[in-house]
Structure 1
Amino acid sequence: MQIRPAADADRSAVLAIVAPILAAGETYATPRDWTDDQVLAYWFDPAYDVYVAEVDGRILGTYYLMANRLGGGAHIANCGYMTAPDAQGKGVARAMCSHSLVRAAGRGFRAMQFNHVVSSNTRAVALWQSLGFAIVGTLPAAFKHPVHGYVDSYVMFKTF
């Protein structure tokens, strides 16, 4: 698997991964009815470094890396990750998170924080914990899941 910075030519492959996940409304606190242009504007925000994970030229996942906050919080990184449905459970998210931790440290970040990990996304919670992230806060009923109703979200943190 190769993880590399996303190029303009990758936008349609990234959209094919990101748009259905956002539309499902199960893991990201974003509108479910965004147009393709809105999805791309969100994922390719100018403040983000966007990467893709590919095997044999096929993009299997994507992530963005950014500062979690500005000013006094700019030393903490934040990321968002998405894996193509048929590539889930094959180590793509683990590889992307590991890559992002190295990239973040290389950019001078001192830690990484995930602000809104939906508690019902148990695979992601377990993965982040296996990579050294701790749940440092629980936001009660902070996410309205389309199937499970109001569920908790976690703030997860890892120091480098």
Structure 2
Amino acid sequence: MKVIIKILSGLIILTVLGISGLFGYSKFKETEDLKKQLTEQKTDQANAGTISDDQNNENQAVSSNTNISTSNNEVNHNTSNTKVNRNNVFDYVIKAINDSGGDASLITFQEPTYNSSTDTWNIVANNKSGAGATYKIFVDSSGHVIMTEGIDDDVVIDEDISLN
């Protein structure tokens, strides 16, 4: 009987150590993946800034050579129109949810990711209770918020938001 108890307790200890090792390894890999995503985002943003500067310089040269200022004004208007950034993207989302009759305090938001090809911030969110559908939120640079729900991506919110 004592031998069986020793064997069972040894198996339990090995099982707990194995599970904790797998958990630690998965967290380590998750951290490494997040670091990799962060460096890719920084690279994408740096490349987007370089491309934008090059386009702006080309447009200014064309404008000065041909005395046509419309393309230069459009470029300047687009760059000054970018009012959504990492620091205020949640302000737009929360205002959109609350203005549409929802309660943003009942939703848990994940970290926003920037998609430079579409010039939008993407956020995944869930109910704080853990029950219900997953939300996908898209905020473009002008403050237009689109929130979809569930597997079918049913549109819940589709509004232009102004923080003023």
User: Fold-level match, TM-score > 0.5?
Assistant: no
Under a length normalisation based on structure 2, what TM-score does the superposition of the two structures give? 0.28
Structure exhibiting the larger radius of gyration computed from Cα positions: 2
Higher fraction of helix: 2
- The answer to which structure, 1 or 2, has the higher relative contact order (CA under 8 A, 6+ apart) is 1
Under a length normalisation based on structure 1, what TM-score does the superposition of the two structures give? 0.29
